[in-house]
């Protein structure tokens, strides 16, 4: 049987890693797929650039359309990134009747509904395991391994850059800006780190996970996104004193009113396994009604970690080449005509607990005024931590943990507290999840 020919769009870190894994493990992969798999064509912006892989025997071009149109290519692997040229090439490949593998979370989160509809019409597969959490097979786990379950919620550390920054702030008492500069020097963060530190990258990934978990269309534009740029080392220290860790978490939860879809800094009890995921590592915690909580941990980025997921998708596609298109695993886990119209809840409607830090004047009656406002809003206080004033200072930090309450109620209470004469500056609020 002839080898399956792969056309790679992009020969950067992940593209080079994919070539290396396919060549190094060729025999093992062939035994699993039932056929040999070869990279026959590849496109790259700079053809003479030094690479981490051996391109001997691969037809190289600077025009990705030539790869997509090559009649010998059976499967197009898109590793360009972004949602401009990548979208154009993926749709072209589908229209050419070719299967597609992609590691592009922005492309799937923003255009996946359209892409999957086109693929369904053409009878081809679009595989995207590498788009979320690098080498962790989280999409396959939710879509197939947990298919007996009604997924109740999932929570994930799905951006390694943000996790590295928060880990360094906790372990070494460093400031955000200092650690970010190191992350950029180490290559963990881009020169413009906005996608990582503001949660946009994690929101792309969470959108995909939520769609697969709950059987809803992809709705990236409705995901609530909050970054970690305002997290201080003081908040990290206070959280530790109270038995919590701060993580930049993506949370998707099924409720009676709809789906919570949110990315933000989150306090997690330090005893939880996911609270102890450090550095650039990723982890996703999934709660199913039958299996209970399950945790998936591993490298969320890197040449061969991500290539592991890309090649696994290629193997899945090769295995399914001769199967009936109607009987393949659905792209979003549920049959296309069975997707739910459950709404994505606005952030005002979510229910969670809170960590609050207020800077208040050190005088009698201040705490009573604050607790009165919370009481009128129906907010219960779980714990209070009040620090001594620094020498020569008349104000002190007041740290409070609340029980679960609707965000709208918390917003109203904080607005009233901010108007108190004894409160200086803007209250700091970080959401909390027990993940129990």
**Active-site annotation holds for 49:** no
**How far apart (Å, rounded) are the C-alpha atoms in residues 78 and 95?**
15
Please say whether the beta carbons of 228 and 165 come within 8 A: yes
The CA distances from residue 123 to 50, 90, 109, 112, in Å, are 38, 14, 21, 16
Alpha-carbon dihedral angle through residues 215, 220, 221, 224, given to the nearest 10 degrees: 100
Count of alpha carbons within 13 angstroms of residue 368, beta-carbon side: 3
Q: Parallel, antiparallel, or unpaired for β 99-102 and 126-127?
A: parallel
Please say whether the beta carbons of 159 and 235 come within 8 A: no
**How far apart (Å, rounded) are the C-alpha atoms in residues 205 and 156?**
9
Closest residue by Cα to residue 34 from 317, 356, 324, 331: 317
Helix (H, G, I), strand (E, B) or coil at 266: strand
Q: Which of these is catalytic: 98, 105, 110, 205?
A: 205
**How far apart (Å, rounded) are the C-alpha atoms in residues 117 and 139?**
19
- Tell me the residue length of the chain: 436
Q: State CA 207 to chain mean position distance.
A: 8
Please, which residues have CB within 8 angstroms of residue 218's CB and are 6 or more apart in sequence?
A: 108, 109, 110, 112, 113, 207, 208, 211, 332
Please say whether the beta carbons of 161 and 196 come within 8 A: yes
Computed on alpha carbons and rounded to an integer, the radius of gyration of the chain in Å comes to 24
Closest residue by Cα to residue 18 from 48, 42, 45, 50: 42
The CA distances from residue 380 to 211, 235, 354, 372, 426, in Å, are 33, 21, 10, 11, 21
Q: Which residues are catalytic?
A: 205
């Amino acid at each position: 049987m002839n080898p399956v020919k792969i056309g790679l769009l992009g020969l950067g870190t992940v593209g080079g890693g994919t070539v290396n894994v396919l060549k190094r493990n060729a025999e093992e992969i062939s035994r699993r797929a039932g056929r040999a798999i070869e990279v026959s064509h590849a496109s790259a912006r700079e053809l003479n650039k030094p690479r981490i892989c051996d391109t001997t025997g691969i037809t190289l071009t600077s025009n990705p359309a030539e790869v997509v149109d090559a009649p010998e290519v059976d499967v197009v692997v898109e590793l360009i990134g972004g949602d401009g040229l990548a979208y154009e090439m993926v749709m072209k490949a589908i229209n050419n009747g070719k299967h597609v593998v992609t590691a592009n979370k922005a492309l799937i989160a923003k255009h996946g509904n359209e892409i999957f509809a086109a693929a369904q019409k053409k009878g081809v597969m679009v595989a995207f395991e590498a788009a979320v959490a690098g080498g962790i097979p989280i999409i396959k786990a939710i879509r197939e391994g947990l298919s007996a379950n009604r997924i109740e919620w999932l929570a994930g550390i799905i951006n390694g850059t943000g996790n590295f920054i928060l880990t360094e702030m906790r372990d070494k008492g460093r400031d955000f800006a200092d650690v970010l500069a190191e992350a950029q020097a180490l290559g963990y963060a881009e020169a413009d780190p906005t996608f990582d530190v503001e949660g946009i990258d994690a929101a792309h990934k969470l959108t995909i996970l939520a769609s697969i978990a709950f059987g809803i269309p992809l709705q990236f534009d409705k995901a609530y996104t909050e970054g970690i740029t305002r997290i201080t080392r003081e908040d990290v220290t206070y959280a530790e004193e109270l038995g919590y860790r701060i993580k930049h978490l993506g949370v998707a939860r099924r409720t009676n009113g709809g789906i919570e879809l949110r990315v933000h800094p989150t306090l997690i009890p330090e005893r939880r396994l996911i609270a102890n995921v450090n550095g650039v590592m990723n982890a996703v915690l999934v709660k199913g009604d039958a299996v209970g909580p399950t945790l998936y941990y591993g490298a969320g980025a890197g040449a061969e970690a991500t290539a592991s997921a890309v090649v696994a998708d290629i193997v899945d596609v090769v295995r399914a080449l001769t199967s009936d298109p109607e009987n393949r695993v659905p792209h979003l886990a549920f049959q296309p005509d069975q997707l739910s119209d459950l709404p994505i809840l606005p952030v005002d409607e979510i229910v969670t607990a809170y960590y609050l830090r207020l800077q208040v004047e050190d005088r009698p009656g201040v705490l009573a005024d604050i607790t009165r406002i919370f009481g009128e809003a129906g907010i219960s206080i779980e714990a209070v931590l009040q620090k001594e004033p620094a020498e020569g200072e008349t104000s002190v930090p007041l740290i409070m943990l609340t029980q679960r309450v609707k965000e709208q109620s918390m917003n109203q209470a904080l607005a009233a507290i901010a108007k108190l004469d004894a409160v200086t500056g803007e209250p700091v609020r970080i959401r909390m999840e027990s993940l129990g």
